[in-house]
Structure 1
Amino acid sequence: MKRILIADDDRSILTLLSYNFRQHDFEVTTASDGKQALDLARKKPFDLILLDLMMPEYDGIEVTEILRKKGNFTPILILTARDDDEVKLLGLQAGSDEYLDKSTPMKEIVVRGNALIRRSQMYNQSRPVLKEETNSAISLYSNSRLTLDYHRKEVSFDDHLLDLTKREFEILELLIQRKDEVVTREELLKHFWGISDVAETRTIDVLISKIRKKLDNEYIKTKRGFGYTFTDEKD
């Protein structure tokens, strides 16, 4: 049975969400604020975490950021009553996997949740081997300045551990796996969010910009009109 943690300070919404996920064979654990959600997420594993954006103690974005920094990569879906693209972007940048309006039909929320679980499982099972990997038990990319360790979910640059969100780590890993190939924005959206809407490509541009800054603007190059490529070569 799949396990979900649902956090919302509105008891009526919490009850409705819990009922619908239980109807689809989920074992449901609930929290009424961000602090309780964090405590529960640290104590037991879940297949999916569903967070309200606005909660007491910690909001949904803060909970997401804390979990990702602690190495928790459980799929996270944020629900909000605010139809605000900037807030949506903040949620995705923090490491959430999906962001839905509370007006979304319950059946669709459940379907989206199941899709996130499937994508997470497929990603973990079918992740390509890194080109520089010499031992199948160790997924490691390394050059003179940059090291990415898949199993530890860590990236270091000039011997300093970088503070990357889950999504930043995954994007960098995918670009490294396809080193010297052009990866389009649409491919990245499709791979990580299951969409290829050109209107959403700004999300990718912002995330790439953040990764570049952390890498001292090295390695990730823009192919104008196409997408991005990771290369070891200097300009």
Structure 2
Amino acid sequence: MKLLFAEDEVSMAEAVTDILTYHNYTVDTVYDGADALDYARAEQYDGIILDIMMPKKSGLEVLKTLRSEGNTTPILLLTAKAEVEDRIAGLDMGADDYLPKPFVMGELLSRVRAMLRRKDRFTPDIMTFGNVSLNPSSCELKGPLQSIVLPKIEYKLMELLMLNKGIYLSTEDILVKVWGYESDAESGAVWVYISYVRKRLAAIGADIEIRAKRSVGYTLAKIGDAD
């Protein structure tokens, strides 16, 4: 399991990183909110641990931005005991749990395990990117020209791309996450459904596109933006 840990107190960051690494987690550790946001956008993590009080960007700012961008990675907030309003705000913004400081390492490990069991629980009501929106409750893909209700596989593919925009997903990743581990679908199915969704995007007048990179995979990006 790969975790992102953001904590500006260096001694605390080192101690927690050592404990998590000892318990077989892979940990990227950063010391301010700006780096936390950059890492969370650039990498795929199984869980994120954010201290609320950090320089450059607070943990709440990072949380709010990630959730607004459709990032569903489970997030655990570290808070001071007096920060009751911040805890409430964090949970309302989509945090999965919070842990008041000071804490014992055993409780942190327990909260991390619980957080990872709830992985992918949070999903935004309506996902948006560019001039396109995707409604999970109705499977409706909407753009400036029209709206289309997507069939199941096309919806799951579009949802996966929306939730990971800017990140290249391999054909194998897409097969597992869209069709499932038990499916007999082959890699050619990914290309076929990518072409279906590309046609849907063109039909609704989207200003976003699905890009392919040989031997890497597929990603969703705004038309005209540099790769």
State the Cα deviation string for residues 93-137 of structure 1 (Å, max 9, x = none): 12211111022211111111121111216889xxxx979898332
Partner of 1:115: 114
Q: Shift of the alpha carbon at 1:83?
A: 2.9
Partner of 1:90: 89
Contact 1:5 1:41 in 2 (8 A): yes
User: Mapping of 1:191-230 within 5 angstroms?
Assistant: none
RMSD in angstroms over aligned alpha carbons?
Answer: 2.7
Unaligned 5+ runs, structure 1: 141-148, 154-235
Matched, 1:137 2:136: no
State the Cα deviation string for residues 24-79 of structure 1 (Å, max 9, x = none): 11011011100011111111111111011100000000000011112211101010
Paired with 1:80 and 1:130, the residues of 2 have a C-alpha distance of 34
SS in 1 for 2:153: coil
Paired with 2:138 and 2:92, the residues of 1 have a C-alpha distance of 27
Partner of 1:51: 50
Partner of 1:75: 74
Change (3 A) 1:135 1:99: same
Change (3 A) 1:50 1:137: same
Partner of 1:8: 7
Partner of 2:224: none
The code of the aligned residue for 1:101 comes to P
Paired with 2:150 and 2:100, the residues of 1 have a C-alpha distance of 45
Paired with 2:100 and 2:155, the residues of 1 have a C-alpha distance of 37
Paired with 1:105 and 1:44, the residues of 2 have a C-alpha distance of 28
Paired with 1:122 and 1:82, the residues of 2 have a C-alpha distance of 26
Paired with 1:8 and 1:89, the residues of 2 have a C-alpha distance of 20
Paired with 1:4 and 1:150, the residues of 2 have a C-alpha distance of 23
SS in 2 for 1:120: coil
Please give the TM-score of this superposition, normalised by the length of structure 1.
0.53
Change (3 A) 1:115 1:57: same
Percent identity of equivalent pairs: 35
Matched, 1:17 2:40: no
Paired with 1:13 and 1:116, the residues of 2 have a C-alpha distance of 20
Change (3 A) 1:87 1:102: same
The code of the aligned residue for 1:74 comes to T
Aligned residues: 140
